[in-house]
Amino acid sequence: MAQAVENAVRYFQRHRALYGDQLILGAPELGVKPAPADQVEGDQLGTLAAFNQDIRNCQKCPLGATRTEFVFGVGNPEADLVFIGEAPGAQEDLAGEPFVGRAGKLLDQILAAIDLSRREVYILNVLKCRPPGNRDPQPPEVEQCEPYLQEQLRIIQPKLIVTLGRVAAKTLLRVDESLQKMRKQVYHYQGVEVRATYHPAALLRNPGWKAPAWEDFQAIRDRYRELTGRPPLVKNGVQVSTGKGM
């Protein structure tokens, strides 16, 4: 019973973080029962919630001892588009949510510019706990934590992954190239297509990168719509292919 109440509280906290105080009727029902691997479809919320419960007290690497909050991920458990950063920063560590603060707001604006919202995508990091001082993830930490990310992706089953920032791309793809080069390549991870682009925090530090980032996000928008069978975006009777952007 206590577990059910705790799960309900977590669900509504997450719901509030995503949707504010408005109660979204018809939102997927809370469920914490682990689903068999072959029954994932249609029960991703319950399966993800159960997986979160299973791993949120993890102490497999030293970051477990220094974190404030475990940062699982947030968004639509059935998302076709997943964004992956490297690790929680200071604000995420306090909030227990990925991409909060100014960088998170900018990500929300970017999503809105490509006709998406946090409600439609899923956002997570390679590491679930904050590296002290925001240093880059260390290989042993990635080795310990990456199976969690892989399981999340197995449950969500996205059609397109976007890495945010060079470190996330390099860590996930094991490619030691500049972000400039990685942005122009198409990669695959666990059989899913991957595109690399800038981290929103980097765009805040270097506004000059917003123009190339906007090119990336337009390409991401178009590829996402193509992969999911959505028709090209049309506004005012005109197919949207370029725009003012962020």
Backbone dihedral region of 176: left (phi > 0), alpha (psi from -120 to 50 degrees) or beta? beta
Q: Which is nearer to ligand SF4, 118 or 128 (CB)?
A: 128
Give yes or no for residue 58 binding ligand SF4 (CB under 6 A).
Answer: yes
Q: Site residues for ligand SF4, window 93-132 (CB under 6 A)?
A: 127-129
* Partners of 163 in the β-ladder: 84, 196
Question: Among 31, 64, 212, 245, which residue interacts with ligand SF4 (rule: CB under 6 A)?
Answer: 64
Give yes or no for residue 61 binding ligand SF4 (CB under 6 A).
Answer: yes
User: Which segment (6-14, 20-28, 58-66, 91-99) binds ligand SF4 by CB under 6 A?
Assistant: 58-66
Contact 173, 194 (CB under 8 A): yes
Taking Cα atoms as reference points, which of 204, 163, 144, 152 lies closest to residue 40?
152
18 Cβ contact partners less than 8 Å away, ≥ 6 residues apart: 74, 75, 118, 119
Q: How many residues bind ligand SF4 (CB under 6 A)?
A: 12
Q: What angle do CA 202, 203, 205 make, to 5 degrees?
A: 65
Least gap, CB of 125 to ligand SF4 (angstroms): 9
Q: Which is nearer to ligand SF4, 40 or 71 (CB)?
A: 71
Give yes or no for residue 13 binding ligand SF4 (CB under 6 A).
Answer: no
Our measurement of the distance from residue 19's CA atom to the centroid of its chain's CA atoms, rounded to an integer in Å, reads 16
205 Cβ contact partners less than 8 Å away, ≥ 6 residues apart: none
Least gap, CB of 126 to ligand SF4 (angstroms): 9
User: Which segment (27-35, 139-147, 200-208, 210-218) binds ligand SF4 by CB under 6 A?
Assistant: 139-147
Burial 235-245 (b: 16+ CB within 10 A, else e): eeeeeeeeeee
User: Which segment (61-69, 97-105, 177-185, 205-213) binds ligand SF4 by CB under 6 A?
Assistant: 61-69
Give yes or no for residue 63 binding ligand SF4 (CB under 6 A).
Answer: yes
Least gap, CB of 113 to ligand SF4 (angstroms): 32
Q: Which is nearer to ligand SF4, 71 or 81 (CB)?
A: 71
Q: What angle do CA 199, 21, 124 make, to 5 degrees?
A: 25
Judged by the rule CB under 6 A, the positions of this chain that interact with ligand SF4 are: 58-61, 63-64, 127-129, 141, 144-145
